Structure 1
């Protein structure tokens, strides 16, 4: 009996393409017969019609050229007929990207090692803070990993040894890989970082990849459907044209080269976004007589290799023009997310691949055309994850991964006698830890999804390894964490069944302020000072991205602090988005005390009430709580010094989530009028403060 060989995926795709081609030719034949095209004219007609049908509306040019590699003593060049990418043989820096007739999309005015590169900020193990030694990763060894007509993968490696300590190099082996595929309008970039257990301990606040584009070509930035605009030049930030504000990343454009930007504030942190939302961002060049418009896009198909989970905020693109791929950073979280690798600890992690995508358009509406095409490409990359082409054995292919599925419900007897379907919950796998530890986890991988209307979830393509299952649910406080370590093996499909989260709850809700969603966005965000405007965020959902909003508190409350009256005040109008310090006329800063006034129709004797304080962000603050006695010393509750999020200064509406559950003895409360005093005591500058997520007062379990 003759056995029929099973076709490979590639052969099946080729057969499908052949069938599609035959269908196209048949269609062409019908058109040709209708217009009476015969002989040699027919063959030419078919060729032209097929060519026109194959052209993408806003994509890079197609090419049938095999992927080629050229190398000399100084440079390595990857070329697939659509683009050519030049690397310095010493260092592995991307020095040039040739595309669409342009000799280099990267900034030619910069040094060769300052155009496209990986970098790391690190420090010795006993250091504190989020700064350190800046190291641009320099590969000292070059190797061709794969070379054929369809794919080219090259490697630049940095190898650490004891002599590297004198050169202030991080104790890491770093293997930087670049992959170019046939007929692909872009470049894949990934790296493998490794620390061996016999090497010194050290800290890492930041790992990223940087692309610096030509300022004479790229002037339009797009990071989301509603975050797109023409951008100023980097020259406009120089002292001769701009005035540095506080913090120094913000610059007021006083005399920009393009007058339309005069009076605006430019700050890279205004364009930050959550990891889960950073899928594609980049730049569009202006169209000229000699060149159509081009797009340069950084596509991040998954955030599984980024630190801090889906809500961690990171930089995207900003004035330069610069585009970033942030893998590890302390932004919006502070020292809590600095990676600390210990002596005798082995650690290895793959960052990426990310995809640098190039496209072009000659359409009149070039910006929507290029952006929409970039989003389509992003969707294709997401659907293709995990990629099957990276040659490194450290990158897990689909057959090396597993999945977890189940249903999440909520039990809160003061809301419902039945389980509540956890619709829209964020649920994911991260290395084992305490509830909420995924926020600061930065050594391993994380895999997240959201539940559907029935609370069902399926988490796919999970690296082999050990994990806890974590969740948080909009509308409910606190964090879920299972108490069983899940071991994921290649091909495994783990059914966790029905899991139930019981959010913190002691008694019925007497009153509440805000929405438990880990953000302060629902509170009152004031209009910005007209002298510090970013026009993108005027009448925008992210209006909190405007510069200097912290100063508006003193404008609105020059002498007295905020007073919120339950039952009368509206948190959307009367609860300032950040509990900040107040600057006095003498230039000094002072702590502030907010009041929550409320009535109790009766007080249950010998009962315990519960105050829930969910915080969306904190920066170098101490929160003190007093009840009905503003001078109580010591206060009935203090958080102590907490937080290094710096979300206020960096225009973020959240940082790290914290939840405090405070017992209030009934003897502290009185019938009718009560006041809770919230004091932020530390006041060394403008950026100490707290963003509240949600506040709730619960009565005793039997309260009526």
Structure 2
């Protein structure tokens, strides 16, 4: 292994070159930007027409304390100091760091940042991680996003793979130039009108069409077909991501760009922005993630590269937590703890007393934050999926105080337990843990299935003028552009009406309650649920459970048997900045509401619940339902 430093070899001024005989990477000194990667006969895997600081970099978005929104100031993180942490026959670890002081007030985010790169002997790839630290005496600020980005060479990398069923040849970045495309309703989406390769003409390109949930986002990247070469980002753990298993993040997209997202407000809005107060200390390690390179000689089958990348993912996850990072802020396995147990569900109106939480997502989230686990962002999270009997086992947990959290497919609400303290080497057996989901009375009717998405509802075919060919006849058909406008086409004059016992939610319940286009504006909509009651408890209170999969600048109002009742029976008020309608997601943040309906408002025979999304003005205002249930009063038959 060879390490060439600025000032040591004048052929490479201001550069650090690491070469292990398999790959050679060049990093700017002291900025810590990856400018060149040589591998498999390709002189540079990164885009050389870009400036050197726009090839392989860490970046972030931040704003001053008290600011609103999710953008603020953009920083491509440039370090000011370089050091060799480890250099021996087995590995090289280098550090590019920046120390904050008061002279940077208002100019740079108030963080000490240490970016690390590791190359192992015999390894076909490199690792990167970073340590962010805010000292107590420093000012507060908001951190909206941080990530690693690699801009790959467009000459070589044309094929993208995010999952087994989400991979394709991709357009070129040139196709997004004004003379080759038409910008659509939001700037990230363009219609390719004159692409370099005619096969892409008439398609929509939008980076959000390739978003992925954390639970499925472990390996993704790009392929060069000749010579067969892969560039893959492998994330062996979710502990340093925010938002839990269902949080959606960007992956790869036209550029060709490869991203490793750690903090983002996508599909969540400002609620997901990390906010620090004056005098609040904080430290967080992001990564390591592994940038895996694989290749074959010209003429061999390039499809092997994706399969090999998945096998490498298994190797990396089995090796987690890594033993080689030199920072004391990254604890090894013997410095961590574990927890196990069995999660059961007790629903007083179920046929069984206790139901195993089959397929539940069970995890530890920071016990010091007051928000829902899906919004916790300052600490670490550790998640697993329970087996069919409800048993769960979480290993290699960083020491700290956590709350045990869970949600169970088929049941509404969140489980959250008392504080659990994890110490080095601890083995905690929780035995049986019981979750009692919200329930007051027996089910009269229900719509949907509680899985925190709107996937089971009706997703229309796209407008043939705005398609992404990947998602034609695809399980993720909701990722097509412009589906919000299909609602107006299907319901040009009157809104959706759903009759319990007659309608089918997979065919008759539109996946999102969006606005309807009328003249030159967009107006709110009112959906109706018609149902029969054989008997009514006039003195009881019925519960309408409303589990939402997403909300964006919306207000949901509930009325019963009188569409003009003022005030309504229930209103959420203005909620949500999830933006999942715009960004082709089938969910954003999960929200659960209960509307109390007095028995005197119901009648024997036909009744109607009116669900009004009252806000308008944009096609992207609206909500997605996860599940709706009407419960009778507890003393009703």
TM surpasses 0.5: yes
Give the corresponding residue for 1:296.
231
Deviations 1:554-604 (A, max 9, x none): 0000000000000000000000000000111x2111110000000001101
2:466 aligned residue (523, 527, 532): 532
Q: Indicate yes or no: 2:62 matched with 1:127.
A: no
1:356 aligned residue (286, 291, 298): 291
Counterpart Cα distance in 2 of 1:619 and 1:451? 31
- CA 1:364/1:101 → structure 2, altered by over 3 Å: closer, same or farther? closer
Counterpart Cα distance in 2 of 1:478 and 1:401? 30
Give the corresponding residue for 2:623.
690
Q: Indicate yes or no: 2:91 matched with 1:157.
A: no
Superposition CA RMSD, Å: 1.1
1:171 aligned residue (98, 105, 110): 110
Counterpart Cα distance in 2 of 1:274 and 1:258? 31
- CA 1:103/1:363 → structure 2, altered by over 3 Å: closer, same or farther? closer
Give the corresponding residue for 1:98.
38
Cα deviation for residue 436 of structure 1 reads 7.0
- Confirm or deny: 8 A CA contact 1:67 1:151 kept in the other structure: no
Deviations 1:232-260 (A, max 9, x none): 00000111000000111000000000000
Counterpart Cα distance in 1 of 2:298 and 2:526? 57
Give the corresponding residue for 2:10.
none
Q: Indicate yes or no: 2:424 matched with 1:490.
A: yes
Cα deviation for residue 67 of structure 1 reads 5.2
Deviations 1:595-623 (A, max 9, x none): 00000011013011110000000000000
- Confirm or deny: 8 A CA contact 1:436 1:479 kept in the other structure: no
1:256 aligned residue (192, 195, 201): 195
- Unaligned runs of 5+ residues in structure 2 are 8-12
- CA 1:701/1:364 → structure 2, altered by over 3 Å: closer, same or farther? farther
Counterpart Cα distance in 2 of 1:79 and 1:540? 42
2:499 aligned residue (562, 565, 568): 565
Counterpart Cα distance in 2 of 1:434 and 1:399? 27
Give the corresponding residue for 1:652.
585
Is the partner of 1:113 in helix, strand or coil? Answer: helix
Give the corresponding residue for 2:222.
283
Cα deviation for residue 268 of structure 1 reads 0.1
Give the corresponding residue for 1:543.
477
- Confirm or deny: 8 A CA contact 1:67 1:148 kept in the other structure: no
- Confirm or deny: 8 A CA contact 1:88 1:94 kept in the other structure: yes
- CA 1:434/1:109 → structure 2, altered by over 3 Å: closer, same or farther? closer
Give the corresponding residue for 1:342.
277
Cα deviation for residue 365 of structure 1 reads 6.8
Across the two proteins, how many residue pairs are aligned to each other?
632
Deviations 1:372-414 (A, max 9, x none): 0000001100110000000000001101100000110000121
- Confirm or deny: 8 A CA contact 2:20 2:122 kept in the other structure: yes
Cα deviation for residue 362 of structure 1 reads 3.9
Matches within 5 A, 1:329-408: 329-362=264-297, 366-408=301-343
Counterpart Cα distance in 2 of 1:462 and 1:581? 45
Structure 2 length-normalised TM: 0.98
Cα deviation for residue 90 of structure 1 reads 2.8
Give the corresponding residue for 1:19.
none
Deviations 1:344-376 (A, max 9, x none): 111000000000000012486734200000000
- Confirm or deny: 8 A CA contact 1:582 1:589 kept in the other structure: yes
Is the partner of 2:358 in helix, strand or coil? Answer: coil
Is the partner of 1:218 in helix, strand or coil? Answer: coil
Counterpart Cα distance in 1 of 2:369 and 2:551? 20
Counterpart Cα distance in 2 of 1:463 and 1:273? 25
Segment drifting more, 461-470 vs 99-108: 99-108
Matches within 5 A, 1:47-66: 66=1
Give the corresponding residue for 1:621.
554
Of Structure 1 and Structure 2, the greater helix share is in: 1
Counterpart Cα distance in 2 of 1:375 and 1:405? 28
- Unaligned runs of 5+ residues in structure 1 are 1-65
Structure 1 length-normalised TM: 0.89
